[in-house]
């Protein structure tokens, strides 16, 4: 570990302040004054003193309740936008913080920031059944005329909605799965990393990227329902974030030519994750009433 990082993790300084303290010759390493914060130290065996006081790391897990503002992304780092981790900026901030789950960039609300991987897993894992409450304001709605024209129908979405697989299965919601890549490896539905491993990798600096579906992927999800004589309401990942919505729309147009008696409505959710999932949940709730 670098000396300046060690000082910042004692809970006394930010990384920038630690560098100033070192340059001021206030820090001794094993009895010798050091002036370079980049020097590597062994936190288990080396003795670091500040103004004669022996320092020790703050190894405790930390938990912050953040009211995420609009315009900030739920990530550990981002080349374009400010992240939720950037908002946790004060002396002693831990270097291994990450958000528990995510809220969309244009969504505001409670987000927990921590360095405790087990805690994060217990909160976000569908198997733990931790309930959450969301409020969504959406643009547009299905008209009564469109609704009346639909016969028996099924609601479908994609896995950006972050809905538990148990919920999708129990309520008959069809799902199209996007693959993702991380650290040079591709992951598809069926071999996704377990949640705790996924977030541990992110905490260690890995950045996953998703691959949008193409029209053929969308047709593979939708066509079996049409063959069963069902209409489809498909709620897609935001068109502002991905081409998934457009691929679904193209697939719907092509399928309607082959199934002219069926109806497919593709909705741009204008959201992702919790926002998209909530829209699917409310639509399914309305359908089951």
Point out the residues that are catalytic: 104
Phi and psi angles of residue 64, each rounded to the nearest 5 degrees, phi first: -120, 135
Q: Identify the three-state secondary structure at position 175.
A: strand
What burial class does residue 232 get, using C-beta atoms within 10 Å of its C-beta: 0-12 exposed, 13-18 middle, 19+ buried? buried
Alpha carbon distance 248, 155 (integer Å): 13
Tokens of 82: 């400010």
Report the run of H or E that residue 252 belongs to, with start and end: helix 244-258
Looking at the DSSP bridge assignments, the partners of residue 48 are 29
Alpha carbon distance 279, 273 (integer Å): 10
Let me know: does 191 contact 197? Beta carbons within 8 Å.
no
Longest CA–CA separation in the chain, Å: 84
């Amino acid at each position: 570990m670098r000396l300046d990082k060690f000082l910042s993790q004692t809970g006394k300084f930010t990384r920038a302040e630690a560098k100033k303290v070192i340059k001021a010759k206030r820090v001794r390493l094993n009895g010798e004054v050091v002036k370079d914060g980049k020097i590597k130290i062994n936190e288990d065996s080396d003795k670091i003193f500040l103004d004669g006081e022996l320092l020790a790391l703050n190894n405790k897990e930390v938990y912050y309740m953040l009211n995420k503002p609009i315009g900030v992304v739920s990530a550990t780092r981002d080349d374009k936008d400010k992240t939720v981790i950037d908002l946790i900026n004060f002396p002693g901030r831990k270097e291994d913080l990450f958000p528990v789950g995510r809220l969309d960039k244009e969504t505001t609300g409670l987000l927990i920031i921590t360095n405790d991987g087990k805690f994060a897993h217990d909160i976000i894992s569908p198997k733990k059944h931790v309930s959450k409450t969301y409020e969504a304001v959406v643009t547009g709605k299905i008209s009564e005329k469109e609704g009346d024209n639909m016969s028996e129908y099924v609601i479908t979405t994609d896995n950006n909605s972050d809905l538990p697989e148990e919920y999708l299965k129990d309520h008959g919601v069809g799902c199209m799965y996007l693959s993702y890549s991380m650290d040079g490896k591709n992951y598809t539905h069926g071999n996704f990393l377990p949640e705790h491993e996924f977030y541990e990798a992110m905490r260690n600096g890995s950045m996953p990227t998703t691959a949008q579906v193409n029209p053929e992927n969308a047709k593979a999800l939708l066509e079996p329902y049409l063959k069963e004589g069902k209409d489809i309401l498909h709620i897609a990942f935001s068109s502002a974030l991905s081409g998934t919505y457009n691929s679904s729309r193209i697939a719907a147009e092509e399928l309607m030519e082959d199934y002219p008696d069926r109806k497919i409505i593709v909705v741009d959710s204008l959201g992702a994750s919790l926002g998209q999932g909530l829209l699917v949940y409310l639509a399914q709730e309305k359908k089951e009433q």
